[in-house]
Structure 1
């Protein structure tokens, strides 16, 4: 029996060596491990659990995973960590703490991450009893100098909790001045309940983080320290439950400070159209900006200010999304979109244009001023807002003679972003046929369809898919509306 076990073990080892995945170099395997799927609701801690699972697959994987510190760098204190529900004898569910179990995982991550930078996230803190939060914070504070990414989201009533985390972190920094912070990314959400000292604590943290590169503020309006503003390469400003009524004047001050930005995201901030529409005394030059995302519910002065005053000679990726327009704002929307087209015409370097819910006339005008455009994307996938209905977000087939370098079209929506009418894809087929008649344009190379799609019947669906796949690199992953 022992000899048989040894023989079977040898055979198993030989087959493992022949398996394609085991012939990959370590560097590629590690990269694959970092691509473990993460639930869309943002519980990144599941990746750590996935790493624990794959470390038990075989000896090689275990050794590789354990000694690769970057795989253990994410430590998340999120809502599912703080409590879980168990049934008592009388059938009533009781809440018990799950902090002890997670603290063990956090300590293991700290040990195995070696000297790698850490991604620390505190989310939905209002669900955590303060004493449990304090215990959790103390687990990761000894490695404070390795924190590279920090997320703080108090949600509804977590003001005191967020302030507690900030205060303990600042106390530790001040008590250890010889240890320099690595903090490069900071995501902050203003608690709705508000708390005295919140903005002051944030400013104190920013002063201690001269290497900060990415700053995402949700519901927060701050006067940034000059040292931080000049080091930022990514800035995101987002509305949150009535906070952050940013005016063009505010944005002017911020953008004139942040001259090294490479990425800018403006989401649901500002004021309604027709109010406080200001022009800057001089244009704002962002020479390194490559990515600009503007996601606004309605036309407003912030968008107009950007189009009229910001100069972005290196812009490569531009995204624009409206969710709805009130009847009284149709004229304002038309003026705003005309200004957008003028802005795009001054930025011919754009290679990717992403949109949702643009009138066909303005879409056509925009595409005609983008001679270097290579990728056209409709929809925002998981980035979109569930409030968008299928009537408010309609895919329009562009004219066949626009964008001579266009080589890829993506339709990327979710159920919350609406259903793509099947006849629009039939129109896209005609677009390809008509485009082939223009000798000065690049033939379309790739098409990606990820959306909820109205079906015309299995035969028609299959025929259209076959037609596209015979001419393009096709990613066909629709969910038919009849299946929703």
Structure 2
């Protein structure tokens, strides 16, 4: 490309252009010639003329560089404009534009429900990062269509969490934002969460209480429940379905009594022991967090007797240096179909036993079909109490989850033998750091789960199996693969019909996860073939999903 002079538009040429010989001679003069007569006056005048021409050349080049820089800026601006126009044209082909508003609204609502809109009352640097926790506001600022949809979709604004932790007074912006969400949610049922540390008057709380008749789900975290419960006691909750109340102080409180005017309440999660006269006859699901463990079996029996319609019971037991001394009080509850027990136990001295074992000794649940046992203990878990509970309850367990308990493979096999109708099994062998128990996910367990054509198999009706291996112990891949192959019958085959006739079901889903080792895809090639035939197989290691 030919460069032109910015002033005269002629071809830009270098007028001072020394040849290699002249440059070499110049270097020689500079290095070796010196003294008063090193250069004559005529030669000095010639050098000055050359320098003047060189200065003009430099000036011309500076002008040309400035012109070219301006041209580059113009071209870059044109490129940016072209990219912007191209992006807009590509948006015309975006699949998102083809979605009807009803489908788009459902997607946006799922996002807003999963994240939740969170408002804080503190203004430090961390609090300023609350904007990413306002998905409804974010959605409404994407484009005109999304904003119009967000403003018309009350459900996007109905999931609200308010955190009031500061003692410096509530900022006006917080109550204004709460009012905005309440206004835009219109008459939509509210999913509300409050996290309080203060007991003084708060304008934002007063706004929320005015809409108590719209509360569908209410979560309450507080160090002091009494002051706020006085306001709640004056209200009715005709739409309330889910209630989660937890306190962090040791003061006694009858805060649950204030929800006696909640005729639709079906799910309760709480750390507060329900009083004997609590109006919970209609409860279907109860999640009870016992910070210091069960005081007695009678306490648990009283809670269950107070909830005659209960279907799902979840007990989160935290026991620190205490032991239940009362003898078990056995009772039968026919409506409960799902039981979850989560125990965190810290053993000191000569303490033995556990809260979960006391629960199993106290309960008889003949209608139970789903059982989840989770925990973190330093000692080997006594499965004999669990087996006795299943046997004496005469229940039909179809779903069983074991997580975080120190159990041997022999004891686990004994538990599974008490569950011949089990359909879904999940085992996570993560245990306490100080436990010396080996993983129950062993070759012996895999061999026991293998279908035997001439004998009764362990868990013959199993449909899905999920194993999470966190023990850094050798894993027998070949035995595991052989077990899976023995339980897979190609649909419509003679083998499938024969196994079905003797009460043995075809496995449908296998999930194996390693948190500590990689998975060799070649080793698990046989399972990839079964996956192609219709069996759902997922094998994951530290190197990602390999099957």
Q: TM tier, shorter chain? A: 0.7 to 0.9
Partner of 1:119: 191
For 1:378, the equivalent position in structure 2 comes to: 427
* CA shift in 2, pair 1:43/1:28, >3 Å: closer
TM-score, normalisation: structure 1 = 0.72
Matched, 1:223 2:301: no
Whole-angstrom CA distance in 1 between matches of 2:282 and 2:92: 53
Is 1:320–2:373 an aligned residue pair?
yes
* 1:209 and 2:258 correspond: no
Which of 84, 91, 110 is the equivalent residue of 2:182? 110
Alignment match, 2:528 = 469
Distance 1:168 1:412 in 2: 47
Q: Do the aligned partners of 1:184 and 1:214 also contact (CA within 8 Å) in 2?
A: yes
1:394 aligns with 2:446: no
1:360 alignment counterpart: 409
Distance 1:476 1:50, change over 3 A: farther
Residue 365 of structure 2: which of 306, 311, 329 is its match?
311
Structure 2 counterparts to residues 43-82 of structure 1, below 5 A? 49-78=134-163, 82=165
- Aligned pairs (5 A) from 1:283-294: 283-287=331-335, 289-294=336-341
Alignment check: 8 A CA contact 2:175 2:204 kept: yes
Q: Deviations over 1:11-32 (max 9, x none)?
A: 456413xx1x444444443333
Partner of 2:475: 423
Question: Is the Cα contact below 8 Å between 1:420 and 1:453 reproduced in 2?
Answer: yes
Range moving further from structure 2, 68-77 or 463-472: 463-472
SS in 1 for 2:211: helix
Deviation at 1:137, TM superposition (A): 1.1
CA contact 1:99–1:136 (8 Å) conserved in 2: no
Offset of residue 147 of structure 1: 1.8
Q: Distance in 2 between matches of 1:115 and 1:50?
A: 20
1:96 and 1:258, CA in 2 relative to 1: closer, same or farther beyond 3 A? closer
Aligned match for 1:31, one of 87, 90, 106 = 106
Decide which of 279, 300, 305 is 2:354's aligned counterpart.
Answer: 300
Q: What do the CA deviations read for 1:59-82 (whole angstroms, capped 9, x no partner)? A: 44333333222222222123xx64
Residue 324 of structure 1: how far off its partner (Å): 1.5
- The aligned residue for residue 191 of structure 1 is 248
Q: Distance in 2 between matches of 1:37 and 1:69?
A: 12
8 Å contact from structure 1 (residues 390, 420) kept in 2 = no
For residues 392 and 14 of structure 1, the distance between their equivalents in structure 2, rounded to whole angstroms, comes to 61
1:146-295 matches, within 5 Å, as: 146-154=214-222, 158-159=223-224, 162-171=225-234, 173=235, 181-192=238-249, 194-195=250-251, 198-200=252-254, 202-218=255-271, 220-225=272-277, 228-240=279-291, 242=292, 245-268=294-317, 275-280=325-330, 283-287=331-335, 289-295=336-342
Greater gyration radius: 2
7-16 or 29-38: bigger deviation? 7-16
Shift of 1:140: 1.4
1:409 and 2:454 equivalent? no
Change (3 A) 1:412 1:130: farther
The alignment yields a C-alpha RMSD, in angstroms, of 4.0
Q: 1:474 to 1:54 in 2, by over 3 A?
A: farther
1:451-476 per-residue CA deviation (whole Å, 9 max, x = no partner) reads: 52333xxxx53334544333232344
Once the two structures are superposed, residues 259-283 of structure 1 have per-residue CA deviations (whole angstroms, 9 ceiling, x without a partner) of: 2112100111679677323233xx4
Cα shift at 1:308: 5.3
